[in-house]
Structure 1
């Protein structure tokens, strides 16, 4: 056993003598800091705080601002946030240009759930030039990046972009900063998104791009696989040994675990809740492993009720969460996250289940070493594209996407209630704006030009995207007033809106997923373009299941021509609507019990491989 370098009795004696020396003003500042360091190494923060406070009560020194700063850091560690704030402010009062104290104060304000105060504090560091790109470069970058991160979290997207751009101007070699900067530009429809700032090339941007951002930027499956593998290399810690036995457990009922932070009012739960409810309990036990927010929504309560066991893992680190799953002897773990925001890829990396599958959350290959299969259908992942997936496709018999037939729908609104003209053809696209790109939006504008009695109804995602889309329309000779923006509403009202539109225009290369399912459920035809990647074939998969292949195009020109033709031929659109209404009752897309049986059959198939 190694000897403790700081035995408790020795530290107790040192602390007592130090406090006496402070009262006699017989302790030098460097001695104080050395004693505090020894106490910190012994994990005695309460004693460190007492030591600093005693010094400040008895000693006047030019370096007391450093002692106040250290006291603030110690009190923050102890969770005494109000007292920590007082200490930081005392440090600043003694040395107003002490930038690190300002930075820590901002971090403390964020922790106190005061994001705007934190942003103001951090911005003052830059405004007062307390740091620069010379000597204080590291703190300058930290400040810019903190402003960028928190501004993004509070949906101040333009301010976030500016802060990260300033950071990249000081140091372009920051891949994580590039990643967020790019996605912020996508969200605001700043085009060209991949215009490199000084010191970077387009290749640098592509290398730093997140797998999610690339879904909307490229239909190259090789590029998407490379992005996923790079993410795994940089962010995932794969342990050397698996937690679960490779041969399985031999349970009479297969234990299926769903892993997600989206068991709340989220697109994933909107699709999957009836699947959870209908899984045959004679053959399966259903577990939910959750780190979702408690949003109080009826959907969250419905998801929880649908699980045989609902296990919160938000207080566990990834290794402990994986051990928790292993202790429940889960036969098949289904990760509903993939590489989306909030994912915890280190959990499946521990391999807590003998068979691990990715489903729905991320529409592409994950590159995750712990994932064996991706749930798909033959349209979604053709045989020719299988080499671009790190997972083995687990093909369902009919359709990869499940549907909820019980989704609530509000009373259908009139066009006037939606702010729409009664006598115009209404194209709509309620996809998130980050899925838009120059080529797709310009195609939509050409459709408007060729269909003069039409408008385009979009989601009011954020004001910067809205302004940029309107400016783009004006630049292309389309009256911006023909772009109409719908605010976000509750799911029931959102679904009801679809009754007021004539044709849904899908995005490419990142198709609508849940959004396309919603539109089709509400009887609104969806026009899509299919490509090579998972994300670019989602809507085509749904339309194939509905028996509406004529709404699937293989080029933007075909897409544009088809949209114009449908807007001009009311009879053709009426026929499509009638087939869609019939398909709601008869197609495999909305036959959820049949989907569940196919889903169960696929799970039993892979479970047999480990028995």
Structure 2
């Protein structure tokens, strides 16, 4: 009886009749079996097999037109036949003749109101006609009748997900796998929804169940690798990607993701090969090409740089990877808009409905939350540690939310904990849980310190952590999404008119937008130039002979990341080495391939590769101390020195930059204005080369610049941390005031 009822619910009426007949053979007096069989016989009135079988055979053979012709004839002869109408509906649905398929399924349901599969097919037909609410109602009706019907739960989940209702969809996928633990795609889709909301461990569990059931499920392995990578379990992620590719060698997304994991291991050539393989398989995957170009920039392989023009449309790639290739704020704005549409999703309307409104704090303080993965010994913290130290805690409740790896023994982290009201680890929380935490903490302002940089979780700001949200210090450009209200800048880094290429409202601080710490320790370097592989300075009266004398031992330096170095800068640098006898270029050691490529590029320009000297990484204070051995810092163009420029100026080393167009290409100009050396920011490449050559030939002028730096450092705005903090606090107070007054965010300036 149980099997018969189940078969009937699934629409398997022939099997149900056979089971009821078998039951009656054994128990002839079973009135319930007799009634059920009679109902099936009366309701279905199916044609005899010799008439129905040709329709079934045609359907199974894919001869849908023929099946429909058989069905039309049989429906006239057997108008109460469930089998005919249901099969007719299935054939019409497969052909895409949706209104007729709907009519056939409705006739089938009239013939057998308990046919769960037919309700399911009707709902599919309604959904394909974009009648979403009717489809949902139909799925829910069949679930109400047959709560253990897994397919209905699964299809309802798909519908809810497509309709932008992921929370409800997740409930239905979970119900599906509870009813049928072997439902592979339900496990997979449940994993996808868990991944989207940041429930990484739960997502991995779902993916593992999917691949256990279906070991060749390439996409499940790929997506599992993505979650493992976000948890910094790189080796496990690589294993997952290898399994994805064993199942499907042409899974380009898995190839790209494997490349990303290889980047984290430092295997850059292997990563580049992976990205280029994905692009070769699918030339439409321009994000794979951009990944390849960005990592080629890291190893200073410029051979394919002209391919950047082909990457238009690669929306899913974080715009940070585009900065080194084009100095164009409009271009970067468009890239951010495209990326944000993928990363964030929700638009202004949904954000407005979901805006938190915390009550004023009991002590009157403005509650500020800073969010980052870099609250440790990191470049951003070298700059910002002074801000946290100087914050006026009587007026501001300052909270840090860290989603980077736990580093409890990190000295910077330990110091930060003492300087703020709260330090909370959120790396294990989903985006929704972070939102709930931030709202429980009643934040007035949430500050994103990462933006589109590696390790970011800026998408959590799409959940609206606070009524005011600010982008500051992390990414030198727009986020391109309405969930970020303000971007902190200054009038030099972002001149008037630059607002056009930002989705945020611009807050311009007097002096410089960049935070700095006026207590950064400089560890005096006891080593000589020779210890670093640099030529010794020429001493004595001959150094004072005329501006045309070529100085021996002159050290040009650039400690920027290698991805910022392009052929335009390098051409100039090599011409300078050629014209300044005995000079060298001191660079930061990044990776072995960059060193080899830069030496090769030098040789191609007629310069002895030995004149490129690479410095190993040392602790930050020691790095500041060794900068005394350099004579002039040469900046890169499309992406300037940011922290590295502040390092140089703090250490007393003059910086020469070219003032570009996009924000990332104007940061060093802002720093130079704020330290009182605006003349060191020039307008074009010719002026840059001429200035560098003149300074290399004029030690007296260079000495004057060094003296001016020493003189200006205590008084110029760049390194007055307390003054900077008060300006930023006034900016936060104005943002908060506008919000409290019911005013929309708008541009403003802070003196």
Is TM more than 0.5 here?
yes
Residues 8-48 of structure 1, C-alpha deviations (whole Å, 9 max, x = no match): 9xxxxxxxxxxxxxxxxxxxxxxxxxxxx999811786x99
1:261 aligns with 2:390: no
Contact 1:339/1:362 (<8 A) preserved: yes
Distance in 2 (CA, whole Å) between partners of 1:267 and 1:405 is 15
Q: Secondary structure at the match of 1:457?
A: strand
1:577 aligns with 2:706: yes
In structure 2, the gaps of 5 or more residues are 1-139, 151-172, 185-201, 538-552, 741-751
**What residue in structure 2 maps to residue 286 of structure 1?**
398
Distance in 2 (CA, whole Å) between partners of 1:401 and 1:121 is 41
Cα offset, 1:138, TM superposition: 3.9
Which of 61, 77, 89 lines up with 2:205 in the alignment? 77
Distance in 2 (CA, whole Å) between partners of 1:263 and 1:207 is 29
1:521 aligns with 2:650: yes
**What residue in structure 1 maps to residue 563 of structure 2?**
434
Contact 2:487/2:504 (<8 A) preserved: yes
1:237 aligns with 2:325: no
Distance in 2 (CA, whole Å) between partners of 1:323 and 1:539 is 39
Structure 1 residues 320 and 124 mapped into 2: Cα distance closer, same or farther (>3 Å)?
Answer: closer
Cα offset, 1:145, TM superposition: 3.0
Which of 369, 374, 389 lines up with 2:487 in the alignment? 374
**What residue in structure 2 maps to residue 337 of structure 1?**
450
Distance in 2 (CA, whole Å) between partners of 1:146 and 1:208 is 13
Structure 1 residues 329 and 421 mapped into 2: Cα distance closer, same or farther (>3 Å)?
Answer: same
Cα offset, 1:476, TM superposition: 1.0
Cα offset, 1:204, TM superposition: 3.5
Structure 1 residues 358 and 120 mapped into 2: Cα distance closer, same or farther (>3 Å)?
Answer: closer
Structure 1 residues 351 and 489 mapped into 2: Cα distance closer, same or farther (>3 Å)?
Answer: same
Structure 1 residues 172 and 517 mapped into 2: Cα distance closer, same or farther (>3 Å)?
Answer: same
**What residue in structure 2 maps to residue 20 of structure 1?**
none
1:543 aligns with 2:672: yes
Distance in 1 (CA, whole Å) between partners of 2:250 and 2:596 is 35
Mapping of 1:270-349 within 5 angstroms? 270-295=382-407, 296-349=409-462
Structure 1 residues 160 and 482 mapped into 2: Cα distance closer, same or farther (>3 Å)?
Answer: same
Distance in 1 (CA, whole Å) between partners of 2:426 and 2:690 is 50
Contact 1:6/1:42 (<8 A) preserved: no
Residues 441-499 of structure 1, C-alpha deviations (whole Å, 9 max, x = no match): 11111121121221000011111111111111111111111101112222122222211
Distance in 2 (CA, whole Å) between partners of 1:192 and 1:436 is 14
**What residue in structure 1 maps to residue 581 of structure 2?**
452
Structure 1 residues 523 and 115 mapped into 2: Cα distance closer, same or farther (>3 Å)?
Answer: same
Cα offset, 1:182, TM superposition: 2.3
Which of 395, 418, 421 lines up with 2:535 in the alignment? 421
Distance in 1 (CA, whole Å) between partners of 2:335 and 2:232 is 34
Cα offset, 1:609, TM superposition: 0.7
Q: Which is helix-richer, 1 or 2?
A: 2
Residues 88-132 of structure 1, C-alpha deviations (whole Å, 9 max, x = no match): 9xx99xxxxx8969979x969x88998669869977998xxx67x
Mapping of 1:117-516 within 5 angstroms? 136=248, 138-139=250-251, 141=252, 144-196=255-307, 202=310, 204=312, 210-238=318-346, 240-242=350-352, 243-245=354-356, 249=360, 252-295=364-407, 296-412=409-525, 413-423=527-537, 424-516=553-645
Distance in 2 (CA, whole Å) between partners of 1:428 and 1:43 is 66
Structure 1 residues 169 and 392 mapped into 2: Cα distance closer, same or farther (>3 Å)?
Answer: same
**What residue in structure 1 maps to residue 58 of structure 2?**
none
Distance in 2 (CA, whole Å) between partners of 1:540 and 1:504 is 13
Cα offset, 1:345, TM superposition: 2.6
**What residue in structure 1 maps to residue 681 of structure 2?**
552
Q: Secondary structure at the match of 1:586?
A: coil
1:532 aligns with 2:661: yes
TM-score of the superposed pair, with normalisation by structure 1: 0.80
Q: Secondary structure at the match of 1:258?
A: strand
Distance in 2 (CA, whole Å) between partners of 1:116 and 1:258 is 31
Q: Secondary structure at the match of 1:42?
A: helix
Structure 1 residues 209 and 556 mapped into 2: Cα distance closer, same or farther (>3 Å)?
Answer: farther
Count how many residue pairs are aligned between Structure 1 and Structure 2: 537
Distance in 2 (CA, whole Å) between partners of 1:499 and 1:341 is 31
In structure 1, the gaps of 5 or more residues are 9-36, 50-73, 93-97
Distance in 2 (CA, whole Å) between partners of 1:391 and 1:248 is 25
Q: Secondary structure at the match of 2:661?
A: coil
Which of 577, 583, 588 lines up with 2:717 in the alignment? 588
Contact 2:656/2:688 (<8 A) preserved: yes
Contact 2:589/2:617 (<8 A) preserved: yes
Residues 537-580 of structure 1, C-alpha deviations (whole Å, 9 max, x = no match): 11111110111111111101101110111111000000000010
Deviates more, 1:426-435 or 1:596-605: 596-605
Contact 1:426/1:454 (<8 A) preserved: yes
Distance in 1 (CA, whole Å) between partners of 2:466 and 2:599 is 50
Contact 1:367/1:390 (<8 A) preserved: yes
Contact 2:521/2:621 (<8 A) preserved: yes
Cα offset, 1:146, TM superposition: 4.4
Distance in 2 (CA, whole Å) between partners of 1:450 and 1:41 is 73
TM-score of the superposed pair, with normalisation by structure 2: 0.65
Cα offset, 1:248, TM superposition: 6.7
Q: Which has the higher contact order (CA 8 A, sep 6+)?
A: 1
Contact 2:316/2:342 (<8 A) preserved: no
- Report the aligned-residue RMSD: 3.6
Distance in 1 (CA, whole Å) between partners of 2:569 and 2:303 is 13
Cα offset, 1:323, TM superposition: 2.0
Distance in 1 (CA, whole Å) between partners of 2:314 and 2:174 is 46
Mapping of 1:42-53 within 5 angstroms? 42=178
Distance in 1 (CA, whole Å) between partners of 2:401 and 2:557 is 36
Distance in 1 (CA, whole Å) between partners of 2:237 and 2:462 is 35
Distance in 2 (CA, whole Å) between partners of 1:451 and 1:167 is 45
